[in-house]
A and B are shown apart, each in its own frame.
Chain A
C-alpha cells in the first residue's frame, strides 16, 4: 500500500483489516440450504420493566389498592381474559395475540432475587444462580457446546455496537452488527490487508497474539458474509421510525436473506421508572409494541414467522406497591413475552401473579427464567439445555 495515503485517508479513522480469500471459513452456504432454519430473537428491556403495568392484573383489587395513582383504569385496559389485559400502549400487539402468535408467561424469576440492575442483568445474561458469578453468557455457551454449525461468530448476532455478555462464550463469541454495510466498509480499509496475509503462519498460534489475529480474520470474513448475503434482500414491511424499529428491520433483512444465523439479540432501555412512571413507560411500551407488531407482520408476509421465535424479558419486575413519586421501585418476578408462528400454547400461559402472597412486598416467582431458556434451547434450537445451563431445567409446553 502507499504509505503516504495512510493518514490522508480519512476513512482510516474507522479502522480496518483484510484477509486473503483462501482463509475464509465455510460460509458460502446457499440460501436454499437454510430454508426452514429456525431463528430465535431476544429483545431485552433494560432498566426493569414494570410487568404489572404491562400485562395488567385488573381483575385483582389489590392492584388498584396498591397503585392508587399509577394503576391503569379498567376502561383503558385491553382485556385478554377476566384477570389480565394489555396496557393500552400495547394495542398494536392485540392483533398478534388474536392470531395466536403470542404467549404471556407470568411470574418468571429466580430464587433469592437480586434487586440491583447490573447484578440481576448479569444473572439473566449468564443464566447463573443468584450467588454464582459466571464470566460467560448463556448464548455464548450455546455457541461453545451445542451447535454443530457454530464455527462462525455470526451464528449469534447482536444488532448493536457492542456485544453483550449474553453472547460471549468461553471459546466462541457472537458478533455485534448495528449496520452491516458500515461494518463491511470498516473491515475493508487498506491498512490491515498486509497484516492479515501474514496471519496464516506463526501468528495463528494458540497464544494470545494468535487469538487476536484469528478474531480479526473472523470479523473480516463475517462482515463480508453478512453484507454480501443480506444486501440482496430489501425489506418490504413498514417499520416505525425508532431505533428498535430499525434494529428489527435489520433482523428481518438478515432472516429473509437466509443468513445462517440462529440467534439475534437486541435491547431497548428506559424502563427504570422510579419517578412519573406512566408517561415514560407508556412511551417505551409504544416503541416496543409498534416495532414488534411491524416485525411479526413482516415475517408473516414473507413466510418466515413459523421459523421465528421472539422472546422479551427484563432483568426484574417492579414492586407491587407504587412509591411516593408516582413511580415504582425495583422488584422481582416478571412476565416474559413470546411471539412466533409456532406457539403451542398461545394466550396467557399460566395464571396471573398472586398479589396477596408476596415476599416483602414483591412477587414470588413461579417459573425459573432458565426454564424459559431450556425451552428455547431444547425445543426450538435442538440443543441440550444442561450443557448450556450447567444443570437440567424442565422446559415449558409453550413451543
Chain B
C-alpha cells in the first residue's frame, strides 16, 4: 500500500483523514492529482451564518436583573449554536483543506469574545482567506470588531494609547518575539489609534482619535497609520519565517527543521504572502513524505473528533455532547485559552485527557455512557451564578448513530484485517495492536479496537 500511504498522509495533514469510501479512487491517483482535487473541492467557501443577530450588550446591561439573565442566556445559546455549526461543517464539508487551514488561522489569530456575531464574522474572515493572501487576512482580522474588542483597540486613542493590539500583532501574529523593541510597540500603537467599530459592528476609522504625528517604527519614520504598520511588518522577511515556522509545526512536524522552514519562507516572501503556493510547495516536497514526518503529530481534540465523525458518519441526537468532548479534552472552538492560542502537541495529553481519548471511540461507536462532571468554563461563571445552577455533571447516554452500513459499504471487500488497520492508522502499529487486529472476528469490533489505540491519536 505504499503509494496509498502517501495519499493517505496527504489527507491526514491537509484534511481530517481519508475515508474508506475514498479509497478506491485514492489508490489510483498520484499525490499531485490528489492535491489538485483537495484545492478544487476547497474552492467552495461556505461561511457560517447561524448567528443572525448582534446582541447589544450595553443596552441590555442597563436593564434589570431579569434582563441581564435573559441576555446571558441568549449569549450562551448563540455561542453554543456557533460552536456546533462549525463542528457540523467540519464533519460534513468537502472543502477539508479550507477548513483545516481555517482551524490554523483560528489558532493563529486566536480571539475570544462573548459576542457570537463578532466571533462568527472573524471565523468567516479566516475561512474566506484561509488559502488566499496572508496580508489581506491580517488586514481584515485587524479591522474586525472581534479582534478590535478582544485586544482593546477600541480604547486606543490619541494621547491615550492602548498597546495591547500593537504588541500582539508583532509578538504573535507577524514577526514574533525578539524582533522589535518596546519603542516599536509604543510607536505602532499610536499608528493604530482611532481604529474601532461602531454599534453595528462595522469598522470605523475615528479620525478625531487618530494620532497623526510622526512615528518611527522598525527603522522607518513617517506619518504611519495601521495599514502602513502591517505593510512594514510584512516587508520583514522574519514575518514569513515566523508564519512558516508555525505552519511547519501544524502540517509537518513539531520539531522545526530550519532548512525546510527557510525554503518555505523564501517562497512565501517572494510570492507576496500567497498561501496556496506555499501549501502546494510543502505538500509536494519530498521531505513532507519522509517517514519521520508520517504519523507523528498528535491530533488536536477537534481533529480527533472530526476524524472519527467523518470516518463513521456519526450523527448526534444531542449535539451538546460534542461541546462536552471539546471541553473535557481541552479545546473548545472559539474559546482558545488566550491570544497565543492552544499550545498543541504534547500539551494535549495528560493522564485524564488520554483516558478520555481512548474511551471516546467506544462511547460514540458503541452507545456508551458519558459519566463525568466537566469543570465550568470561566466565562460561564456569570451565567452559573445568575441561574444558581452549578450542576455541570453530565450523566447521559451519548446517543450517537454511526452509519455502519455506509462505513462498511465503503470498505473494499478484499481487505484483510491488517490492511484495514493500516488504513485507519497513520503510524506503524505496535506488534500487539497487529496481533489483536488479526484476531478480530468481526468488522465493527475491529474498527472500534483500532480507533481506541494510542496509534489513532496520531496523524
Cα distance A303–B432 when bound, in Å?
Answer: 48
A351 within 8 A of B: no
Partner of A14, one of B371, B378, B454: B371
Partner of B382, one of A131, A164, A272: A272
Give min CB distance, A82 to chain B, whole Å. Answer: 32
Size class of the contact patch on chain A: 35 or more
Partner of A160, one of B64, B296, B368, B375: B375
A133 within 8 A of B: yes
Given contacts A4-B441, A209-B458, A326-B65, is CB(A13)–CB(B359) below 8 Å?
yes
Given contacts A17-B358, A198-B430, A272-B382, is CB(A175)–CB(B350) below 8 Å?
yes
Q: Which residue of B lies closest to A168 (CB)?
A: B350
* Structural contact, B439 and A3, CB atoms closer than 8 A: yes
A202 within 8 A of B: yes
Cα distance A168–B351 when bound, in Å?
Answer: 11
Interface size on B, residues (CB 8 A): 78
- Residues on A with beta carbons closer than 8 Å to the beta carbon of B327: 162
Give min CB distance, B417 to chain A, whole Å. Answer: 11
* Structural contact, B435 and A15, CB atoms closer than 8 A: no
- Chain A, interface SS category: mixed
Q: Which residue of A lies closest to B439 (CB)?
A: A3
A199 within 8 A of B: yes
Q: Which residue of A lies closest to B362 (CB)?
A: A13
* Structural contact, B346 and A270, CB atoms closer than 8 A: no
- Residues on B with beta carbons closer than 8 Å to the beta carbon of A216: 354, 358, 454
- Residues on A with beta carbons closer than 8 Å to the beta carbon of B352: 161-163, 175-176
* Structural contact, B373 and A178, CB atoms closer than 8 A: yes
Cα distance A198–B346 when bound, in Å?
Answer: 22
Cα distance A271–B378 when bound, in Å?
Answer: 10
* Structural contact, B373 and A161, CB atoms closer than 8 A: yes
* Structural contact, A272 and B385, CB atoms closer than 8 A: yes
Cα distance A174–B373 when bound, in Å?
Answer: 19
Cα distance A213–B458 when bound, in Å?
Answer: 12
A224 within 8 A of B: no
* Structural contact, A271 and B430, CB atoms closer than 8 A: no
The stretch that binds A, out of B47-55, B135-143, B333-341, is B333-341
* Structural contact, A209 and B64, CB atoms closer than 8 A: no
Q: Annotate A200-242 by CB proximity to B: 1 below 8 A, 0 otherwise.
A: 0111000111011101101100100000000000000000000
* Structural contact, B458 and A274, CB atoms closer than 8 A: no
- Residues on B with beta carbons closer than 8 Å to the beta carbon of A187: 355
* Structural contact, A212 and B371, CB atoms closer than 8 A: no
The stretch that binds B, out of A55-63, A96-104, A115-123, A378-386, is A115-123
Cα distance A6–B350 when bound, in Å?
Answer: 26
Cα distance A208–B353 when bound, in Å?
Answer: 15
Chain B residues 293-340 with CB under 8 Å of chain A are 295-298, 327-328, 330, 335, 337-340
* Structural contact, A274 and B382, CB atoms closer than 8 A: yes
Cα distance A6–B449 when bound, in Å?
Answer: 9
- Residues on A with beta carbons closer than 8 Å to the beta carbon of B449: 6, 191
- Residues on A with beta carbons closer than 8 Å to the beta carbon of B448: 6-7
A371 within 8 A of B: no
* Structural contact, B452 and A15, CB atoms closer than 8 A: yes
Give min CB distance, A139 to chain B, whole Å. Answer: 12
Q: Which residue of A lies closest to B392 (CB)?
A: A269
Q: Which residue of A lies closest to B150 (CB)?
A: A116
Partner of A168, one of B347, B356, B430: B347
Give min CB distance, B354 to chain A, whole Å. Answer: 5
Given contacts A209-B458, A213-B454, A275-B386, is CB(A198)–CB(B362) below 8 Å?
no
* Structural contact, A118 and B385, CB atoms closer than 8 A: no
- Residues on B with beta carbons closer than 8 Å to the beta carbon of A195: 430, 432-433, 436, 453-454
B349 within 8 A of A: yes
Cα distance A270–B387 when bound, in Å?
Answer: 10
* Structural contact, A209 and B354, CB atoms closer than 8 A: no
- Residues on B with beta carbons closer than 8 Å to the beta carbon of A366: none
Q: Annotate A154-196 by CB proximity to B: 1 below 8 A, 0 otherwise.
A: 0000001111110010000111101000000011000110110
Given contacts A175-B352, A216-B354, A325-B68, is CB(A119)–CB(B338) below 8 Å?
yes
Give min CB distance, B363 to chain A, whole Å. Answer: 6
Q: Which residue of A lies closest to B435 (CB)?
A: A194
* Structural contact, A271 and B350, CB atoms closer than 8 A: no
* Structural contact, B354 and A163, CB atoms closer than 8 A: no
A36 within 8 A of B: no
A280 within 8 A of B: yes
Partner of A135, one of B172, B343, B363, B374: B343
Given contacts A14-B359, A15-B359, A212-B454, is CB(A121)–CB(B350) below 8 Å?
no
* Structural contact, A202 and B430, CB atoms closer than 8 A: yes
Cα distance A267–B373 when bound, in Å?
Answer: 12
Cα distance A41–B369 when bound, in Å?
Answer: 32
Cα distance A170–B390 when bound, in Å?
Answer: 32
A349 within 8 A of B: no
- Residues on B with beta carbons closer than 8 Å to the beta carbon of A215: 349-351, 354
* Structural contact, A274 and B68, CB atoms closer than 8 A: yes
* Structural contact, B385 and A280, CB atoms closer than 8 A: yes
Give min CB distance, A59 to chain B, whole Å. Answer: 28
Cα distance A209–B427 when bound, in Å?
Answer: 8
B366 within 8 A of A: yes
* Structural contact, B452 and A46, CB atoms closer than 8 A: no
A315 within 8 A of B: yes
Cα distance A332–B64 when bound, in Å?
Answer: 25
Q: Which residue of B lies closest to A47 (CB)?
A: B381
Given contacts A4-B441, A198-B430, A280-B385, is CB(A315)–CB(B68) below 8 Å?
no
* Structural contact, B445 and A275, CB atoms closer than 8 A: no
- Residues on B with beta carbons closer than 8 Å to the beta carbon of A122: 337-338
- Residues on B with beta carbons closer than 8 Å to the beta carbon of A212: 298, 349, 354, 454, 457-458
B379 within 8 A of A: yes
Q: Annotate A1-43 by CB proximity to B: 1 below 8 A, 0 otherwise.
A: 0011011001011110100000000000000000000000000
Give min CB distance, A284 to chain B, whole Å. Answer: 8
- Residues on B with beta carbons closer than 8 Å to the beta carbon of A276: 65, 386
Partner of A198, one of B328, B366, B432: B432
- Residues on A with beta carbons closer than 8 Å to the beta carbon of B363: 13
Most chain A CB inside 10 Å of its own CB: which residue of B295, B430, B435, B452: B430
- Residues on A with beta carbons closer than 8 Å to the beta carbon of B381: 46-48, 117, 269-272
Cα distance A271–B112 when bound, in Å?
Answer: 21
Give min CB distance, B151 to chain A, whole Å. Answer: 11
* Structural contact, A194 and B436, CB atoms closer than 8 A: yes
* Structural contact, A162 and B330, CB atoms closer than 8 A: yes
B384 within 8 A of A: yes
* Structural contact, A199 and B65, CB atoms closer than 8 A: no
Most chain B CB inside 10 Å of its own CB: which residue of A46, A121, A212, A222: A212
* Structural contact, A325 and B64, CB atoms closer than 8 A: yes
- Residues on B with beta carbons closer than 8 Å to the beta carbon of A14: 359, 368, 371
Q: Which residue of B lies closest to A273 (CB)?
A: B385
Most chain A CB inside 10 Å of its own CB: which residue of B362, B381, B384, B441: B381
Cα distance A168–B354 when bound, in Å?
Answer: 14
List, sorted by A's number, 19 A–B pairs whose CB atoms are closer than 8 Å. A3-B440, A3-B445, A7-B444, A14-B368, A46-B376, A47-B378, A47-B381, A133-B339, A153-B351, A161-B372, A162-B352, A162-B375, A176-B350, A178-B372, A209-B295, A212-B457, A274-B68, A276-B65, A280-B386
Besides A133-B172, A186-B355, 15 other A-B contacts (C-beta < 8 A): A3-B441, A6-B445, A48-B381, A117-B378, A117-B379, A118-B335, A122-B338, A133-B339, A163-B352, A195-B432, A195-B453, A213-B454, A275-B68, A275-B69, A315-B378
